[in-house]
Amino acid sequence: MTATLTVTHKAIGAEVRRGTYDVLLDGGRVGSVAMNATYARPVEPGTHTLQVREGRKSSRTVTFDAADGETVAFRCTGKRFLPIFLASFFVPRLALALRRTGAGTDERTATA
């Protein structure tokens, strides 16, 4: 059996970085997600890494575990707190935010 990974590109309010983001699973591009859309794909149970990218701008890499039959959901956005937004011009991996959503999420899974 497999698990399901979903990545939703949605922001609350105005967002400057509204482009389509590439979805990278375990270091390889597996698809893309447009603004106000959701990307979904089956994944094998186990530990995986996830990142979203738009050109040189990216999110941090997030590590997550997927169990049989589980849906692992993430939300990504280009909307950032002003100091982080400004810093992202010099540190591109701060440009996009990727957060796990749903029950039982653990925000401490983000790795640099």
Q: What is the pLDDT of residues 32-88, one digit of tens each?
A: 999 889 999 999 999 999 999 988 888 999 999 999 999 999 998 877 667 777 776
pLDDT for residue 56: 86
Q: Residue with structure tokens 């186990």?
A: 46
Which residue bears the tokens 């849906």? 71
- What backbone torsions phi and psi does residue 108 show, to the nearest 5 degrees? -80, 5
pTM of the full predicted structure?
0.80
**Spatial distance between the Cα atoms of 10 and 17, rounded to a whole number of angstroms:** 11
Q: Domain 3-106, what fold?
A: Immunoglobulin-like (2.60.40)
